[in-house]
Structure 1
Amino acid sequence: MASSTLPPGTAPIKPEFLISVQPRDVPDDDAAEGSTSHVNGRPNAAPSAEGAEEGTKRLSGAQRKKLAKEERKKHRGANKGRRFQKVRDEVELCFRLAGGKDCEFGSECRYTHDVSAYLAAKPRDIHFPSSDDLSSDPPFVRLPDVEMSEEGAETTNSLDPTTTCPVFQRTGECRHGLKCRFLGSHVKRKDNGELELVVDEDKKARVAAAETEVNFIDADTLRKIRTKKYPHPIADAYLKEIQNAAADEKKAESTPEAATEAVTVNGSEIEAQPSGSAAAATKTEEDHSQDDTPDVPLRFVEKKRLHWSGKTYLAPLTTVGNLPFRRLCVDYGADITCGEMGLAMSFLQGSKEEWSLVRRHPSESIFGMQIAGSKPQLLVPAAEIIGRECAGNLDFVDVNCGCPIDLVYKTGSGSALLDAAGRLGKIIVGMNKALGDIPVTVKLRTGVKDGKNTAHKLMPRLAPEWGASAITLHGRTRQQRYTKLADWDYIKQCVEAVRAREADEHLPPVPIFGGGDCFSAEDYWHKMESYGVDGVMIGRGALIKPWIFTEIKERREWDISSRERLDLVRKYAEYGLNHFGSDTAGVNTTRRYLCEALSFQYRYVPIGLLEQWPPRINDRAPAFRGRDELETLLASPDSRDWVKISEMFLGPAPESWTFTPKHKSNAYGSEEGQG
């Protein structure tokens, strides 16, 4: 069977690996978003027999489609079908006691201090395999003998001295102490029979700088932000400045004789003093010359330049683009990483979850965070706090002008800013002032509506007028969302528009990255050589195959083996445990995000199975078998198999734990979260 017999848009898999020539069904986006547009739980199903008996009229296909569309619109963005609850220990041990410390609350502590009772109820330690324990043959992970050692039997039935704690192995100490699900690797029995935690002081000191995450915001700081007691004088001064400018402009419209002249300084408009009698009256009314003012902010020309040409850039990705995933991509060659999009409003509300998005691992050599908001009053104060709290550990702050989802767009944020150039300009100028020497970058789409691209008008203004230090253009409109191919010819047109203005005004060039559909080394270098960009931001390509950065660096298509891919999963689990924790809650949070990652990675079709190279990101795979059983398992679209894979590294999933895939983001032709 030749690939020519396959339906158009189907991955050209060699006949000997095909199970069916029909492409797999696209996952149901509506179900993932919690829509109620399904009858009897099935998409586009006909009314039930019961419904017919009740007098329900059978609907035509067009009518059903219209109803489904109305329901989708009603529930869009709600994601009601996805609920993730923390899984906790059956008996909860005091975390202070678990870490070998005294609890100041004593008998009034809400958690148990009975270590024996806790260990008796605690499930057996999880065995975390090494790379050498992996195989492409079932059961894929080699486990040690289940019989416990004499030492383990003497201690407690929950301990497994043969296991390895990924946190202890990396850092020389496990912060979860007795609550660790890999406890047997870092505990010993004292002479009095009690357990004592082991700490490798040499390793702890040696690896501290290389393994300790930065940009950790403490509870006291979050409380100050939440209660509006955290000062942001630069933002306050700037917001007052633009408020006064707006008031003066309004006054000038009603009284032309009091009009002011605007001058441009460093790309921002500053109102000059009124002339004549109006100026004299202003000076007489109030003199602020001796007032305290914030330090003079850096001018744009003093900002540190971003030398990003030719570097690989991992896109900011909602949900999946967390710190463990970014670490994985860095291992495979990503040079620039950016945290998940955070909302300015949530930063100003002191949200612990939002502030966790700025966390950085030392392996991320160039790291930035992305922020979304609708107006200067939100973004500028948030930027000032971020700049102060993350000083020295943040290389850039990216303004999201591309997120297409309704939840963001309807607040005036994300891609809504594409049609609000004046407001966007004030935002970028203010953030530049507030962030000091931290550069501000901008990520945008080609426009809001199909057929009405506007980026070629907006992009030439970003750097010279407002001070953007780098630009990324995703080659789709907001209306396209994640469908259709990216328009790289238009990206080239926009690059040329920016370069023309830079040449006319003798300005230094800013880095410009394009984005959309890059899925192979050949495609990456073709885009680099043909469209004038300094680099290509990679989103979906990295989600499906994180090793794409290795392919790009080595200019080859990597026919990665199933065992190498399983080792990648093991490494993700290791990074997840180090970030989220090795206790019960951390293990299952890691499991959740590992399954999220697998919900993309299953879409990879090994290039050794293809008749034609390079692979294309929008080709849909028919059902196929791999070259070995592990390769077949890794290609399974069944989320139960993703959970099964997680259990190889994180132990059995608790009965109370479930995983609902984020269908909108793992559907073919989608790119959820990449604004």
Structure 2
Amino acid sequence: MSSTCPPGSAPIKAEFLLSSAVRDAPDDDAAEGGSSHVSGNRNGTREDAEDNRTGPQRRKPTREEKKSKKGQNKGRRFQKVRDDFELCWKIATGKDCEFGTECRNTHDADAYLAAKTRDVHFPSTDCIIDEPPFIKFPSEDATMIDESSPSIDLTTTCPVYAVRGDCKTGLKCRFLGGHVRKTETGKWEVTVDEEKRAQSAIFETELNFIGGDTVKKLRSKKYPTPISDAYLKELQAEGDGQNAKDAAPETIHASTVRQSESASVAEAQADTPDVPVRTVEKKRLHWSGKSYLAPLTTVGNLPFRRLCVDYGADITCGEMGLANSFLQGSKEEWSLVRRHPSEKIFGVQVAGSKPSLLVPTAEILAKELGNNLDFVDINCGCPIDLVFKTGSGSALLDSAGKLGKILVGMNRAMGEIPVTVKLRTGVKDGKNNAHKLMPRLGSEWNAAALTLHGRTRQQRYSRLADWDYIKLCVEAVRAREAEEDLHPIPIFGGGDSFSSQDYWEKVDHSGVDGVMIGRGALIKPWIFTEVKERREWDISARERLELVRKFAEYGLNHFGSDTPGVNTTRRYLCEALSFQYRYIPIGLLETLPGRINDRAPAFRGRNELETLLASGNSQDWVRISEMFLGPAPEGWTFTPKHKSNAYGSEESQG
């Protein structure tokens, strides 16, 4: 590597260097604050939702909140792109519309197809090449276009139909030519492959859909939670009349917890025949040696988790959901619990500030998801201000008594489903308290597994994770378990893991059962293959583009293959590429393994495709998306979470 490169630069071989100047380091602290599922604003951020409050809740952001947004693109908005000419979805899927002529959308399928944008070609893996244009699309002469319906290309393939045997978007599908035929009357009819549909029902049908009746009960506050109600009454009585919603004593004695638990279970048994099992009957988690994908805000959606499972992730967890939003029946929040059958060990992560929010949420999750939920994780690590200041996330680290009450109540409400905890080392630098808190979480309050991110809330990503302290915490938990003759619970560490070598060195050094991988998986989802096979993978540019293709396929299967679904998939694919471009191919490095915090000088790849995949220009990310999803619509924009050039913005066009 050139000696002119500044300290902290990635050691790139001289023949690939274009300049010694390094890229600006992406602000992961700022990007971590973004979300996509609050207050009905599926495409906004938690900050946006908070800033848009009205009435007595409305306030100006503090100086600290303004500072926390530095490095992040604020006010992200992602419009939902629709067809210019809307066809009734029932007509599109071959059904009768009960509204008839009063339907606000057209029932004229022929007129819709005449005005519809031409079908997109979804390339197979065989179409991917290393040199421009990188995808071998069929020539214009090879396509089959019906003169009466020029939007339909009978040579295209629908990635949804190819997997499922049918396509839920019907005539609205942007890959319609892959599953349509013309009848004797000259009408277009969507086809179904019954054999394939039957086969895919088990392996492709997503789990954990929440019905409209459940949402209605939640929104009207009529959803019954008898176990939670009984537990909260106990807390209120223990507080000498103090409201259980606000009670948060600093300590809970273990014997008091156990006596309280036994009494409440007996009371609930009398009222409800389906009361959860006792603590001793909880499912034990056997996670030692398994790889764990961290719950990731916005980018940790179902298609991305599927991708990581393909590369070897054993344990997956949905994006952090807010307990209050679950209880209010937010469709956006409940969409976070969706699970693909390929996710063998799947959990839901919730954040909340008190028992009155988290315990009823746990009871509802257990009732609604049942056997399709392997664990629920309590977020005690989220550092962003607008979560912390409500008493949620990492704020719970300084409220041990409240956290204990939450854990006991959630365990009771969840039945045999285990409750786990993800936490940080502490709130402020120099004041770590996880070594005191973690032994109590398992032995006193029955946490089934613990994950410790080796940074304080204050530190965020400003320094490397403290794995020596993680080791100290593991030893404290194991000593308490040995003292009380308890079964060991899984303990995972987290922070900066970016290679197989680094992963296993951290496991051996700290004594954890595994490492939860977050940023490392965002930048290189194949890290799980590296960990499993204990090798560093010099993945080729073509293999990386195949990964992008697979993400697009999973996105279309999840979000839909109609115009809104295609562009939602495009948005999340660009989100993924806004992290993946940071990967530096190990074949370009002088020393291995690569490190997550090394900053990359300007470099070229070993071929043009590798160079394109390393581009930090969001216009190139959109260009890559167009290889699989067709041209981006006019007026479509993409603003990444990190501060950078936004596609479609005025600044990017100047």
TM-score (norm 2): 0.89
**Are residues 1:117 and 2:111 paired?**
yes
Describe the superposition over 1:218-250 as per-residue Cα deviations: whole angstroms up to 9, x where unpaired.
122111111111111111111111111112699
**Are residues 1:475 and 2:475 paired?**
no
Describe the superposition over 1:64-123 as per-residue Cα deviations: whole angstroms up to 9, x where unpaired.
xxxx97783386799633101100000010000100101011000011101111111110
Aligned residue-pair number: 607
- Residue 179 of structure 1 corresponds to 172
Cα distance change, pair 263–467 in 1 and its aligned pair in 2 (3 A): closer
Secondary structure of the equivalent of 1:551?
A: helix
Shift of 1:147: 3.7
| AA matched with 2:79 | Q
Shift of 1:341: 0.2
- Residue 290 of structure 2 corresponds to 311
- Residue 216 of structure 2 corresponds to 223
Using the alignment, how far apart are the partners of 2:65 and 2:212 within structure 1?
41
- Residue 88 of structure 1 corresponds to 82
- Residue 58 of structure 2 corresponds to none
- Residue 484 of structure 2 corresponds to 505
Which residue of the other structure, out of 274, 281, 285, is the alignment partner of 1:302? 281
- Answer whether contact 1:379 1:431 (CA < 8 A) is retained: yes
Secondary structure of the equivalent of 2:477?
A: helix
- Answer whether contact 1:234 1:294 (CA < 8 A) is retained: no
- Residue 247 of structure 1 corresponds to 240
Cα distance change, pair 578–321 in 1 and its aligned pair in 2 (3 A): same
- Residue 592 of structure 2 corresponds to 613
- Answer whether contact 2:584 2:600 (CA < 8 A) is retained: yes
- Residue 139 of structure 2 corresponds to 145
Shift of 1:272: 8.8
1:369-518 to structure 2, matched below 5 A, reads: 369-518=348-497
Secondary structure of the equivalent of 1:537?
A: strand
- Answer whether contact 1:77 1:407 (CA < 8 A) is retained: no
Cα distance change, pair 244–187 in 1 and its aligned pair in 2 (3 A): same
Secondary structure of the equivalent of 2:348?
A: strand
Cα distance change, pair 343–464 in 1 and its aligned pair in 2 (3 A): same
Which residue of the other structure, out of 181, 188, 191, is the alignment partner of 1:195? 188
- Answer whether contact 1:30 1:72 (CA < 8 A) is retained: no
What runs of 5+ residues in structure 1 fail to find an aligned partner?
35-67, 251-260, 274-287, 667-675
Cα distance change, pair 263–405 in 1 and its aligned pair in 2 (3 A): closer
**Are residues 1:98 and 2:98 paired?**
no
Which residue of the other structure, out of 637, 645, 670, is the alignment partner of 2:624? 645
- Residue 542 of structure 1 corresponds to 521
- Residue 568 of structure 2 corresponds to 589
Identical aligned residues as a percent = 73
**Are residues 1:326 and 2:305 paired?**
yes
- Residue 539 of structure 2 corresponds to 560
| AA matched with 2:232 | L
Using the alignment, how far apart are the partners of 1:248 and 1:645 within structure 2?
61
**Are residues 1:519 and 2:498 paired?**
yes
Shift of 1:149: 4.8
- Residue 23 of structure 1 corresponds to 22
Shift of 1:500: 0.3
| AA matched with 2:215 | L
Q: CA RMSD in A?
A: 2.5
- Answer whether contact 1:76 1:406 (CA < 8 A) is retained: no
| AA matched with 2:170 | G
Which residue of the other structure, out of 162, 168, 185, is the alignment partner of 1:169? 162
Using the alignment, how far apart are the partners of 1:385 and 1:634 within structure 2?
43
**Are residues 1:73 and 2:67 paired?**
yes
Shift of 1:30: 11
User: Larger Cα Rg: Structure 1 or Structure 2?
Assistant: 1
Using the alignment, how far apart are the partners of 2:592 and 2:572 within structure 1?
31
Shift of 1:191: 0.3
Describe the superposition over 1:125-165 as per-residue Cα deviations: whole angstroms up to 9, x where unpaired.
00000000000110000101224755x32441001111111
Describe the superposition over 1:535-574 as per-residue Cα deviations: whole angstroms up to 9, x where unpaired.
0000000000000000011111000000000000000000
Cα distance change, pair 247–25 in 1 and its aligned pair in 2 (3 A): same
Shift of 1:529: 1.1
Using the alignment, how far apart are the partners of 1:377 and 1:30 within structure 2?
30
Using the alignment, how far apart are the partners of 1:338 and 1:147 within structure 2?
47
Cα distance change, pair 267–481 in 1 and its aligned pair in 2 (3 A): farther
What runs of 5+ residues in structure 2 fail to find an aligned partner?
35-61, 244-251, 646-654
Cα distance change, pair 489–263 in 1 and its aligned pair in 2 (3 A): closer
Using the alignment, how far apart are the partners of 1:76 and 1:612 within structure 2?
33
Could you tell which deviates more after superposition, 486-495 or 236-245?
A: 236-245
- Residue 572 of structure 1 corresponds to 551
Secondary structure of the equivalent of 2:18?
A: strand
| AA matched with 1:505 | E
Using the alignment, how far apart are the partners of 2:107 and 2:263 within structure 1?
68
Shift of 1:620: 0.5
Secondary structure of the equivalent of 2:317?
A: strand
Using the alignment, how far apart are the partners of 2:275 and 2:400 within structure 1?
26
Using the alignment, how far apart are the partners of 1:136 and 1:272 within structure 2?
67
Cα distance change, pair 575–387 in 1 and its aligned pair in 2 (3 A): same
- Answer whether contact 2:87 2:172 (CA < 8 A) is retained: yes
Shift of 1:407: 1.1
Cα distance change, pair 489–267 in 1 and its aligned pair in 2 (3 A): farther
Using the alignment, how far apart are the partners of 1:635 and 1:410 within structure 2?
38
Secondary structure of the equivalent of 1:591?
A: helix
Shift of 1:528: 1.2
Using the alignment, how far apart are the partners of 2:631 and 2:162 within structure 1?
22
- Answer whether contact 2:65 2:385 (CA < 8 A) is retained: no
Describe the superposition over 1:283-315 as per-residue Cα deviations: whole angstroms up to 9, x where unpaired.
xxxxx9997356543222210100000000000
- Residue 108 of structure 1 corresponds to 102
- Residue 7 of structure 1 corresponds to 6
Using the alignment, how far apart are the partners of 2:628 and 2:395 within structure 1?
42
**Are residues 1:353 and 2:332 paired?**
yes
Cα distance change, pair 289–308 in 1 and its aligned pair in 2 (3 A): closer
**Are residues 1:157 and 2:150 paired?**
yes
TM-score (norm 1): 0.86
Using the alignment, how far apart are the partners of 1:70 and 1:442 within structure 2?
28
Describe the superposition over 1:506-529 as per-residue Cα deviations: whole angstroms up to 9, x where unpaired.
000000000000000000111111
**Are residues 1:627 and 2:606 paired?**
yes
- Residue 130 of structure 1 corresponds to 124
